[in-house]
Chains A and B, each alone.
Chain A
C-alpha cells in the first residue's frame, strides 16, 4: 500500500516540532476528517531557513508533512509556492489514490504558512 519512502518518513519524520520564533504559521485540515497539519516556517530575506510541523493524521499525512518541510527548506517564497501536491507525492515515490488528499493538505499547509508570513509582513509595513 505505502512505498518504502512513505514508511521511512512516517517512522522517522523530519522536522517534527514547533519553531518558537516562526514568522509563518498555519493549520489546515479538519479533525472531523482525521487530518490536521500545522506548519511553522522561519523566513529570512525571502528564504525559508527552517520548517517544522505537527500533524494529526494517518501515515501518509505524517509522511507528506515530513517531505513537505524538507522540500521547502532553503527555498525562496516564490519557489516554495510552486510546490504542488503532485511533487510532494512524487518525492515520496507515490501515494495510494485514496491518500492523495494528504499531499493536497501538505501543499495547502505550505501555501497557508507563507500567506500568514506575507500578511504579517504587510501589516508591519503598514504600521
Chain B
C-alpha cells in the first residue's frame, strides 16, 4: 500500500493535471514535428503552439503576439530584466525593485550591477507589502525599469503592482512583474495592472515543469533573449518545447476557468489553518499580512526551534512542507524575505511555509493541526533557547 503524503508545498510546484498531460501526450509521441518545418507534422506542432499562445493571451487579457514562451519563470525574469536594461541603457542605468523579490529577479539584477547598472532595493513594510509611495520616492531621472513581484513566494503577500505601474507610467518607466506565484491564484489582467512585462511559470498552476511565458507589451523596447533561429518572432531562438507549451496553454485555461471558486475554497482552508495554529501554539507569529495574501499561503515562525528539524518531523508524519530555514540551502542566513520583514535571525530560522492546493481537504488541515503542536513542543523540549524561557529568561 502506498504511504499517504499530504502535500502542502504548492508554491514549490504543483502536480501535473491529467487533462493537461492528455493534451501534451501526442506532442511527445506521434506529433513530434519541428514547428519550424513546412510539412504537415511541423504545421500541426506550430498550430498547437499558437493555440497555447491564444490561451495564455486570453487568460492574461493580452494580445496573442504579446506572449513569448520560455523555459520557465527564471528565464522570463532574466529576459525581462536584462533585455530591458540592455535595450534602454542609452536612456539610463537605474532600476528599482524590492527587497523581497525572488532570486530569479535579485540575481540578474546583481549581474546587471556588475555591468554598471544601479539598483535601488525598496524595503517592504513589516506586513510584507511595499509602499508605492516609497517606490515613487526611489525614482530618478535615469530610472528605466521597475520590477515588483505580484505575489511573494514565501509569505504570499500581494503587492500593489497596479498603483506602482500607474506611478511609473507618469514617468514613462517600463514595469515588470514576476507573477509566477500569482497566476492561477488571483486574477491577473495585464491591461488592468498596467504592466509592460509579466513572468509566469506553468508548473505553479498544475502544468509541466520547464516551460513558462513572458508577456511583453507591444512597443516595449527589449533585446532578444537568445540569438539563433527565427523562433518566437526572432526574440527567443531555439526549437520550441512543443509538448510543454501545449501543457502550459491547457493548464492556464483550466486554472483561470474556476479561479474564484478555487481561491475561495483554499482561502477557507488557509484561514482555518492560521486560526488553528495561532490558537494552539504559543510563541508563534504569522508572517506577512493577515488578509492581503495569496489564498493558498500561510507562513509561520515558531520561536526556539529550527525549520529544517520541523520539516523532517512533519515528513515523518507524511506531511510535505517548506521552510524559510537556511539549513536546507547550505547558507547560514535565513530567508532574505523573512529578514526583510524584520524578523530576527533566530526567529526566521524557525519558519514554516504551508501552501495549499487543489487536493487539500479540511481533514488535511485537521491532521496538521493535530501533529504540529506535538512536534513544536517536542523540538522545544530539546532546545536550549526554550529552556531559558521556561526558567523565566529570554
| Contact surface of A with B, Cβ cutoff 8 Å | 7, 10-11, 13, 16, 18, 27, 31-38, 54-62, 98-99
9 A-B pairs within 8 Å (CB atoms) are namely A11-B316, A16-B382, A34-B346, A56-B346, A58-B308, A58-B309, A58-B327, A59-B312, A61-B306
Q: Is the CB of A54 within 8 A of B346?
A: no
| Contact surface of B with A, Cβ cutoff 8 Å | 304-306, 308-309, 312-313, 316, 325-327, 330, 332, 334, 345-346, 349, 381-387
Report the separation of the CA atoms of residues A37 and B387 in the bound assembly, to the nearest whole angstrom: 12
Report the separation of the CA atoms of residues A31 and B334 in the bound assembly, to the nearest whole angstrom: 11
Shortest C-beta distance, B112 to chain A (Å), equals 28
In the complex, what residues of B have CB within 8 A of residue A37's CB? 384
In the complex, what residues of B have CB within 8 A of residue A32's CB? 345-346
Report the separation of the CA atoms of residues A55 and B381 in the bound assembly, to the nearest whole angstrom: 9
Nearest CB to that of B386 among chain A residues?
Answer: A56
In the complex, what residues of B have CB within 8 A of residue A27's CB? 384
Q: Is the CB of A13 within 8 A of B345?
A: no
In the complex, what residues of B have CB within 8 A of residue A31's CB? 345-346, 349, 385
Q: Is the CB of A55 within 8 A of B308?
A: no
Report the separation of the CA atoms of residues A7 and B381 in the bound assembly, to the nearest whole angstrom: 19
Report the separation of the CA atoms of residues A99 and B308 in the bound assembly, to the nearest whole angstrom: 12
Q: Is the CB of B332 within 8 A of A33?
A: yes
In the complex, what residues of A have CB within 8 A of residue B345's CB? 31-34
Task: Add 16 more A-B contacts to A58-B306, A62-B309 (CB < 8 A).
Answer: A7-B312, A31-B385, A33-B345, A34-B332, A34-B334, A34-B346, A34-B349, A36-B385, A37-B384, A56-B304, A56-B382, A58-B308, A58-B309, A58-B325, A61-B306, A61-B309
Of B306, B312, B326, B330, the contact of A56 (CB 8 Å cutoff): B306
Q: Is the CB of A13 within 8 A of B384?
A: no
Report the separation of the CA atoms of residues A86 and B346 in the bound assembly, to the nearest whole angstrom: 27
Q: Is the CB of A55 within 8 A of B383?
A: yes
Q: Is the CB of B330 within 8 A of A98?
A: yes
In the complex, what residues of B have CB within 8 A of residue A61's CB? 306, 309
Report the separation of the CA atoms of residues A28 and B360 in the bound assembly, to the nearest whole angstrom: 41
Q: Is the CB of B306 within 8 A of A57?
A: yes
Residues A34 and B326 in contact in the complex (CB < 8 Å), given A56-B304, A58-B306, A62-B382:
yes
Residues A55 and B312 in contact in the complex (CB < 8 Å), given A32-B345, A32-B346:
no
Report the separation of the CA atoms of residues A59 and B309 in the bound assembly, to the nearest whole angstrom: 5
Report the separation of the CA atoms of residues A17 and B98 in the bound assembly, to the nearest whole angstrom: 44
Residues A38 and B384 in contact in the complex (CB < 8 Å), given A57-B309, A62-B309:
yes
Shortest C-beta distance, B379 to chain A (Å), equals 8
Of B309, B349, B382, the contact of A54 (CB 8 Å cutoff): B382
Report the separation of the CA atoms of residues A18 and B384 in the bound assembly, to the nearest whole angstrom: 10
Report the separation of the CA atoms of residues A38 and B382 in the bound assembly, to the nearest whole angstrom: 10
In the complex, what residues of A have CB within 8 A of residue B382's CB? 13, 16, 54-56, 62
Nearest CB to that of A98 among chain B residues?
Answer: B330
In the complex, what residues of B have CB within 8 A of residue A34's CB? 306, 325-327, 332, 334, 345-346, 349
Residues A10 and B332 in contact in the complex (CB < 8 Å), given A16-B382, A54-B387:
no
Shortest C-beta distance, B348 to chain A (Å), equals 9
Shortest C-beta distance, A73 to chain B (Å), equals 18
Shortest C-beta distance, A127 to chain B (Å), equals 28
In the complex, what residues of A have CB within 8 A of residue B346's CB? 31-32, 34, 56
Shortest C-beta distance, B337 to chain A (Å), equals 16
In the complex, what residues of A have CB within 8 A of residue B386's CB? 56
Report the separation of the CA atoms of residues A18 and B345 in the bound assembly, to the nearest whole angstrom: 26
Report the separation of the CA atoms of residues A99 and B330 in the bound assembly, to the nearest whole angstrom: 7
Instruction: Name the residue in B309, B383, B384 with the highest tally of chain A Cβ atoms < 10 Å from its Cβ.
Output: B384
In the complex, what residues of B have CB within 8 A of residue A38's CB? 384, 387
In the complex, what residues of B have CB within 8 A of residue A13's CB? 382
Q: Is the CB of A36 within 8 A of B384?
A: yes
Shortest C-beta distance, B269 to chain A (Å), equals 28
In the complex, what residues of A have CB within 8 A of residue B349's CB? 31, 34
Closest 6 CB pairs of A and B: A98-B330, A31-B346, A58-B327, A58-B308, A38-B384, A32-B345
